[in-house]
Amino acid sequence: MATTYNLKRADFIFRNENDWEKILNRTLQRDKQELINELISSELKGRGGAGFPTGLKWKLANEAHDKVKYVICNADEGEPGTFKDREILTKVPFKVLSAMAICGYIVGAKQGYIYLRGEYKFLKPELEKAIAEFAYYCKEINFDFSIDIFLGSGAYICGEETALFESMEGKRGEPRNKPPFPTNNGYMDKPTVINNVETLAHTFTIFKYGSKKFYDLGVQFSRGTKLFSVSGDTPKPGIYELELGMSLQDFVDEFGDGDTKAVQVGGASGFLVPRKKFSETAIGFKGKLTGISLPTGGSMMLFNSSRSMFNVLDNYLEFFREESCGQCTPCRVGCQQLLIGIKAVKQGTKPASYLDKLMKLTETMQLTAKCGLGQSVANSFSSIVENFREEMIY
């Protein structure tokens, strides 16, 4: 069944931020419950890729009983193929800072942090300047909220929210068991709202224009717009804001080079979609009625027919093997064995049927790994092996 939502461009995120003082001041005068309801009715879902409803997250943090709470902006953008958060922090930092402060007001937090990945350290001086200007304004309007930057040190796994807390607490970035969830036990065991950079920027849009404007964009279950990081074999690599819900075929028509063989949706932890499934695949959160629906943190990598899918999978698995934190066995050993396994099949020291054993291994990892990293290795592995099996063997 073909989905027929055309590709629709939008321009909210990078639209000027010069009115941030007005929007911030105006929003801080409004009732907290009313703001939470505004966010819930927008149906905004987390833009880091996991898609948790933002309004519900803020509501839960608001209801948590504690004097000390935190707001954290997750800028540990490490998923291969995504680079939108850096652009937001460079071009419209005040939207993110204002959104953090509004969140602080709603949930009752006085301290915010931006967890900035080490690879983006060069952003720090400009961002600090923006934070200083922001702090000055907060003081002027007598609003008590401060923001600091916490710098990461090159670990992909720290983008996982509980690993990020561990990292901020001065420990190895090893994910925690969930529950308890961050809205009750987050950073320093205190109630914490942790949102992706882009999610925060969208809340600014919602508080500025009202939830209806946002809700009217996109499709059912996938409301609003999303930034897409487009790379690979495309004549137009870059960052694009599009309404959610378009079909992958429309996307490829717009961004492909005419010879697109497959698209990786959602980075190394996402799914590879082959050409024959472009028209039945939609980009959005689960729950749509027609076809396959793939969520994404915005990473869209295009491959043309000159690319070997074996090399692609080999590259992903090496990435996961290095970035696995190593605390749980399914992920630590699984990633190693998958990499050894596909090489053995390719070299002919293992039969082609060994690929099926490896597929079983990814199923086990999906069921038993502690966090999203180990669980999602199965996504790219199975979608590549199923659709390009012959390329894995010959």
Task: Give the distance, in angstroms, between the CA of residue 12 and the centroid of all CA atoms in the same chain.
Answer: 18
Q: Is 316 in the site for other proteins (CB under 8 A)?
A: yes
Please work out the total of residues on this chain that contact other proteins, with binding judged by CB under 8 A: 50
Residue 130: CB atoms within 10 A of its CB come to 16
Nearest to 232, CA basis, from 304, 287, 335: 304
Q: Is 93 in the site for other proteins (CB under 8 A)?
A: no
Token code pair at residue 167: 């990292």
* Interface stretch with other proteins, choices 101-109, 177-185, 317-325, 340-348 (CB under 8 A): 317-325
* Interface stretch with other proteins, choices 127-135, 213-221, 308-316, 384-392 (CB under 8 A): 308-316
Token code pair at residue 289: 């009625």
Counting Cβ atoms within 10 Å, is residue 240 exposed (0-12), middle (13-18) or buried (19+)?
buried
CB closer to other proteins out of 93 and 218: 93
In the stretch 215-234, what mask flags binding to other proteins with x, by CB under 8 A?
--------------xxxxx-
Q: Is 282 in the site for other proteins (CB under 8 A)?
A: no
Q: Is 332 in the site for other proteins (CB under 8 A)?
A: no
Helix, strand or coil for residue 40?
A: helix
In the stretch 234-273, what mask flags binding to other proteins with x, by CB under 8 A?
---xxx------------------------x---x-----
Indicate which single residue of 33, 153, 220, 305 sits in contact with other proteins (rule: CB under 8 A).
Answer: 153
Report 154-183 residues binding other proteins (CB under 8 A): 154-156, 167-173
* Min dist. Cβ of residue 126 to other proteins (A): 13
Indicate which single residue of 217, 325, 373, 377 sits in contact with other proteins (rule: CB under 8 A).
Answer: 325
CB closer to other proteins out of 218 and 266: 266
CB closer to other proteins out of 149 and 333: 149
Return d(Cα 41, Cα 8) in angstroms, integer. Answer: 22
Q: Is 120 in the site for other proteins (CB under 8 A)?
A: yes
* Min dist. Cβ of residue 45 to other proteins (A): 22
Q: Is 115 in the site for other proteins (CB under 8 A)?
A: no
Q: Which DSSP helix (H) or strand (E) runs through 107?
A: helix 93-107
Q: Is 191 in the site for other proteins (CB under 8 A)?
A: no
CB closer to other proteins out of 44 and 155: 155
Q: Are 173 and 166 in contact (CB under 8 A)?
A: yes
Q: Is 301 in the site for other proteins (CB under 8 A)?
A: yes
Q: Is 307 in the site for other proteins (CB under 8 A)?
A: yes
Backbone angles phi, psi at 282, to 5 degrees: -110, 155
Query: What is the torsional sign of CA 255, 45, 297, 271?
Result: negative
Indicate which single residue of 1, 67, 122, 390 sits in contact with other proteins (rule: CB under 8 A).
Answer: 122
Q: Which DSSP helix (H) or strand (E) runs through 201?
A: helix 197-209
Question: Where would I find the beta strands (DSSP E) of the chain?
Answer: 70-75, 111-116, 146-151, 192-196, 218-219, 222-223, 225-232, 238-243, 260-265, 271-274, 281-283, 292-294, 299-304
Question: Where would I find the beta strands (DSSP E) of 141-280?
Answer: 146-151, 192-196, 218-219, 222-223, 225-232, 238-243, 260-265, 271-274
* Min dist. Cβ of residue 259 to other proteins (A): 14
Indicate which single residue of 79, 161, 198, 243 sits in contact with other proteins (rule: CB under 8 A).
Answer: 79
Return d(Cα 342, Cα 358) in angstroms, integer. Answer: 8
Residue ranges in contact with other proteins by CB under 8 A: 77-83, 86, 117-122, 150-156, 167-173, 188, 229-233, 237-239, 264, 268, 301, 303, 307, 311-312, 315-316, 319, 322-323, 325
